[in-house]
Structure 1
Amino acid sequence: MSKHDPDDDNGPFGRPLFDDPSARALSRVGVVDVGSNSVRMVVFDGAARSPAYFFNEKLMCGLGKGLAETGQLNPEGRVRAVAALRRFALLAKGMGIGPLTVVATAAARDASDGPDFQAEVLRETGLRLWVVDGPEEARLSAQGVLLGWPEAKGLVCDIGGNSMELAQIGDGQVGTRVSTQLGPFRLARISDNPKKRAAHIDQVLAECQAQLNSEGQRIYLVGGSWRVIARLDMERRNYPMTVLHEYRMLPADLLQTLDWLETSNLEDLRTRTGTSSARMELVPLACEVLRELIKVLKPSEIDVSSYGIREGLLYEQMPARLRARDPLIEAARSVEKTMSRIPGFGKKLYEFLQPLFPDASPERVRLIKAACLLHDTTWRTHPDYRAEACFDNVTRANLGGLDHPGRVFLGLALLHRYKNSRSGSRLEPLFELLSEAEQRDAEILGKAMRFGAMFAVSDPSDVARLVWRPELNQLELKLTKNGHALFGEVAQARFTSLISAMKAEALIGERA
């Protein structure tokens, strides 16, 4: 069972984070995850539905290393973990974020000296560990996936050093959960024979499958070992982007990577990918688990989630109406509010441009909305670098609810917000994640925003209106008297560029 202060009715936070159900802003909240391999502190800041990472630091302590043999926490890891927690407590105090929420998982719950470790942490740092059991850990990790991936449906698989949790998710809910001892630290003592380890993994997964009934579903991977394998998959494929969140792999392709890793120099790969020695040490055994996971559960697709137990704790506190919000749009609104010259203009720009996209799918509409909200958030950057800065910000940002093609589409649209041509750009390899038609659509959106921004002194709809007649391939711009005054030479050139991208005929009309 989860252990916490019996007087605490609000779970690990000790207080409700969202007293106001309509709350969008969230003050800084600190969370620490004490795992079998690492101890990490994250401070969330910004939009509640899509929190920004104000601070993120981890230490590879190896707290659970050797636990399977001794039944106790690793002595050196324990010293390092207490030192890390002492530092984190002082940092939190300096940031003025209030008490840290500290969650401990498999190592602390399974070790015979776990209670003594809890007492030591409280005595030395003033921090109270909230130790969760396996099913609760699975639930929190699954909720973390839902925070950044609201439509996620399938199976969440969270691997740590001493355990691996699985949970069904769908329709914004967490279903059946199971906890196993398939963490690499545990597997290391099963046998020196890979075939015997594979048989053991198969047996455990078959028992999980009987409870989960998850064959053929999408699997969402959570955990450091999975992220390292995904990064290595990118390396093998020469994938142009290194953002791991929402990186998607087909089982057959991933099996090729696992075969490739068996014959590769892991030390060389560790150096090339910037992976720590402590993480890479667990990769071979994690690969064995992943291979059998594919064999037994037969997933349709395997996706990586950078969100896990820490984000799940935030999701736990959110009322339904806040959970229902789109994390991408919430993040874009937050960025617009703090970084644009005219906060609120993004919505007006979207409404002005909406006639250009009458048949856009819901997914495309949300990308158009996000682009309009972000269209003016890099204005402080030097003009020579503004276009590529837009692209870099979006493709590298920690955004939820956005797959890799979506990142590139959004980035390319914002690039064209500031630059007519993308030819010869250093970013060209990334453009290949989109089809030619998608690249053209992103260019049209960018040039439309570039033109619409010329009416930023007011609501564009008050002075101009766009009428798109696809059957005639004709775009008409209807202007009021003030609209004509705003439609100067630069605006005319931008309108011509938009017309060229659309390969359409232009008309200029009068509007009352």
Structure 2
Amino acid sequence: MKKQYYAIIDIGSNTMRLVIYLQERGGRLKEVENVKAVARLRTFLDLNNNLSKAGINKLVSTLNSFKDVLSVYQLKEVICVATATIRQANNKDVIKAIAEQETGLPMRILSEEEEAYYGYLAVVNSTSIETGITVDIGGGSTEVTYFENRKLIQSHSFSFGALTLKDFFANEIPTDEELEQLHSYLIAQFRTLPWLTERDVPLIGIGGSARNLVQIEQNMKEYPLAGLHQYKMYDKDIQMVNNYLTSLNPEKLPKVEGLSKDRADIIIPAIQVFHTLYQTIQAECFILSRKGLRDGVFYEQLSKEMGSILFPNVLEDSIQELINDYNLEPKQIMHVQYLTRKVFDFLKHNGIMHLDKNDWNLVKRASYLCHLGEYIDAESSAQHTFYLLANRTIDGLMHKERLMLALIASYKNKTVFKQFIQPYKNWFLKEERRKLRHLGALLKFTYCLDATKRQVVKDITIHRKKTELIFTIHCVGDWTPEEYQAEKQKKHLEKLAKMEVKLHFISAM
């Protein structure tokens, strides 16, 4: 299949960015190139609100530098969009004409409604959040949306952004009085929208300032997992970062770990927006979405092929990407899943383990990805499986959920499990850790019943006899490898069941 590449250029008020995507077999887009340029076009607006000649030259030269990168790829489509600064400039038609003539790139100037809509579309197609409020603070505008059951209900674009809000401060590090003035201004602005108040839903941050906020907080906490997408914070965490940044000397601000130098002078006003909005809506939590406007534009493009603007199941699509990337075998996955369900249901219905629907969903997800680390190295499969799943973004899973998936799918034995979970031990109660270990042992056992990937084991019948569990395993063909592996693994099943396990392999013929 010929690779399909798409490109988008996002002309923002603070930064301009080129992103190139590869369309995966499943239809979703994978980012393969991301080029950023700090143009700060907002600073080129004159007293008449026209973009100056110097600003237009900056725009054109940056676009032409992006074209050099574009020439490396055979692109199916290139989209160039502009947001607040170009939209608000009185000479936007002139800007558009000159840019298109000088670069050959057609420019689309997004309306306020479109900018907000694309942010919403990116969030609902890359997270599992059903209801929430999004906020995307750029250099010259701030977009907010409210969605319920994944459907857009309200949207609005405020005419202030991180670059304009820094005018509240005389210096990069504001005084308490300046912070209070900005806080009061933001409260007044947010309260003009009744649908923003007291929602008690997640607040989802989009864009560079939100990413920097999370990066700073992760560095301050020495956060052990990789990745930013779907990272969760709370009011106290945002306040902690704010207090830390406002306590610094100005020369130390650009050196903060996780903070881009080009955002050093605008990060504090941006955080004030997040914190004030969090308090206004009485948010459940703050969640970062690494997917934003650019992704939303392409989700709309893909919807023309799909017939719907919403992916039916974000998590399933993301898991399918992993299956494709690591050449996992769907036939084996479904067979292991069938065998796992048989054992799971027996343990549940006979009161041997306290199991519920959430536990099955965890095991089912893990069964799709069980020991995908064999793709890298069979001998150290468990280590690779854990690392890949724990440190790769999986759309639709929060960070703790991703870690739980990694712990179950990579299970090898109790010792290795303890090694994997050690840095995250305080994330779980003792009973939760035991449950994860037992679910991993269960999946490992049923995985052994298809050790040679031939589906030799056709079915399982389980009986309980006093202190014994008797597994009658119905097979077609030579089951010797499966019997060997299952006998090795059954000790983990015995520990979780607290009784002896006997395996009887018989011919199903």
Decide whether aligned partners of structure 1 residues 470 and 96 sit closer, same or farther in structure 2, where only a CA change above 3 A counts.
farther
Query: Which of the residues 370, 374, 377 maps onto 1:375?
Result: 370
Query: Which of the residues 440, 443, 452 maps onto 1:446?
Result: 440
- Give the conservation status (yes or no) of the 8 Å contact 2:8–2:19: yes
Query: Which of the residues 216, 233, 242 maps onto 2:200?
Result: 216
Note the C-alpha offset of 1:255. 2.4
Residue by residue over 1:113-159, the C-alpha shift from the partner in whole angstroms, topping out at 9 and shown as x without a partner, is 43333223322332111111112111110111001124431211111
Q: What does residue 20 of structure 1 align with?
A: none
- Give the conservation status (yes or no) of the 8 Å contact 1:337–1:344: no
Q: What does residue 198 of structure 1 align with?
A: 183
CA–CA separation in structure 1 for the residues paired with 2:97 and 2:288? 35
Q: What does residue 14 of structure 1 align with?
A: none
- Give the conservation status (yes or no) of the 8 Å contact 2:457–2:474: no
Decide whether aligned partners of structure 1 residues 344 and 240 sit closer, same or farther in structure 2, where only a CA change above 3 A counts.
same
CA–CA separation in structure 2 for the residues paired with 1:68 and 1:429? 53
CA–CA separation in structure 2 for the residues paired with 1:186 and 1:392? 42
Decide whether aligned partners of structure 1 residues 230 and 92 sit closer, same or farther in structure 2, where only a CA change above 3 A counts.
same
Larger deviation: 216-225 or 47-56? 47-56
Note the C-alpha offset of 1:336. 1.8
SS at match of 2:183: helix
Q: What does residue 323 of structure 2 align with?
A: 336
Establish whether residue 391 from structure 1 lines up as the match of residue 386 from structure 2.
yes
Larger deviation: 302-311 or 429-438? 429-438
Query: Which of the residues 6, 10, 17 maps onto 1:40?
Result: 17
2:230 maps to amino acid: E
Residue by residue over 1:77-103, the C-alpha shift from the partner in whole angstroms, topping out at 9 and shown as x without a partner, is 654543443343343343212231122
Residue by residue over 1:160-191, the C-alpha shift from the partner in whole angstroms, topping out at 9 and shown as x without a partner, is 11111111111121111111023111113356
Residue by residue over 1:358-389, the C-alpha shift from the partner in whole angstroms, topping out at 9 and shown as x without a partner, is 46655554443332222243324245653332
SS at match of 1:240: coil
CA–CA separation in structure 1 for the residues paired with 2:410 and 2:457? 27
Decide whether aligned partners of structure 1 residues 335 and 382 sit closer, same or farther in structure 2, where only a CA change above 3 A counts.
same
1:370 maps to amino acid: R
1:5-154 superposed matches below 5 A: 27-44=4-21, 45-46=23-24, 48=26, 50-65=28-43, 67=45, 71-73=49-51, 78-154=56-132
Q: What does residue 5 of structure 1 align with?
A: none
Decide whether aligned partners of structure 1 residues 98 and 315 sit closer, same or farther in structure 2, where only a CA change above 3 A counts.
closer
- Give the conservation status (yes or no) of the 8 Å contact 2:332–2:455: no
**Gaps in structure 2 of 5+ consecutive residues:** 171-177, 349-354
Q: What does residue 173 of structure 2 align with?
A: none
CA–CA separation in structure 2 for the residues paired with 1:259 and 1:36? 27
Decide whether aligned partners of structure 1 residues 236 and 503 sit closer, same or farther in structure 2, where only a CA change above 3 A counts.
farther
2:10 maps to amino acid: D
1:421 maps to amino acid: T
Query: Which of the residues 249, 267, 276 maps onto 2:260?
Result: 276
- Give the conservation status (yes or no) of the 8 Å contact 1:30–1:41: yes
SS at match of 1:54: strand
TM-score, normalization by structure 1: 0.83
SS at match of 1:29: strand
Residue by residue over 1:449-492, the C-alpha shift from the partner in whole angstroms, topping out at 9 and shown as x without a partner, is 44444425456474342648799784735243646423343332
Note the C-alpha offset of 1:446. 3.5
Decide whether aligned partners of structure 1 residues 254 and 188 sit closer, same or farther in structure 2, where only a CA change above 3 A counts.
closer
SS at match of 2:387: helix
SS at match of 2:419: coil
Q: Alignment identity in percent?
A: 20
Q: What does residue 495 of structure 1 align with?
A: 490
1:301-316 superposed matches below 5 A: 301-316=285-300
Q: What does residue 11 of structure 1 align with?
A: none
SS at match of 2:276: helix
Residue by residue over 1:254-300, the C-alpha shift from the partner in whole angstroms, topping out at 9 and shown as x without a partner, is 32332233214576575452432112221111122223223332222
- Give the conservation status (yes or no) of the 8 Å contact 1:409–1:438: no
- Give the conservation status (yes or no) of the 8 Å contact 1:160–1:183: yes
CA–CA separation in structure 2 for the residues paired with 1:174 and 1:76? 39
CA–CA separation in structure 1 for the residues paired with 2:85 and 2:263? 17
Alpha-carbon RMSD across the aligned residues, in angstroms, is 3.3
Establish whether residue 353 from structure 1 lines up as the match of residue 340 from structure 2.
yes
Establish whether residue 228 from structure 1 lines up as the match of residue 217 from structure 2.
no
Establish whether residue 160 from structure 1 lines up as the match of residue 142 from structure 2.
no
- Give the conservation status (yes or no) of the 8 Å contact 1:387–1:419: no
Decide whether aligned partners of structure 1 residues 400 and 375 sit closer, same or farther in structure 2, where only a CA change above 3 A counts.
same
2:64 maps to amino acid: R
2:428 maps to amino acid: L
- Give the conservation status (yes or no) of the 8 Å contact 2:456–2:477: no
Decide whether aligned partners of structure 1 residues 460 and 185 sit closer, same or farther in structure 2, where only a CA change above 3 A counts.
same
Q: What does residue 507 of structure 1 align with?
A: 502
- Give the conservation status (yes or no) of the 8 Å contact 2:42–2:85: yes
2:298 maps to amino acid: L
CA–CA separation in structure 2 for the residues paired with 1:473 and 1:232? 54
**Gaps in structure 1 of 5+ consecutive residues:** 1-24
User: Who wins on radius of gyration, i.e. which is larger?
Assistant: 2
Query: Which of the residues 294, 297, 300 maps onto 2:284?
Result: 300
Larger deviation: 404-413 or 480-489? 480-489
CA–CA separation in structure 2 for the residues paired with 1:429 and 1:470? 40
2:405 maps to amino acid: L
Q: What does residue 183 of structure 1 align with?
A: 161
Larger deviation: 68-77 or 130-139? 68-77
Establish whether residue 421 from structure 1 lines up as the match of residue 406 from structure 2.
no
2:11 maps to amino acid: V
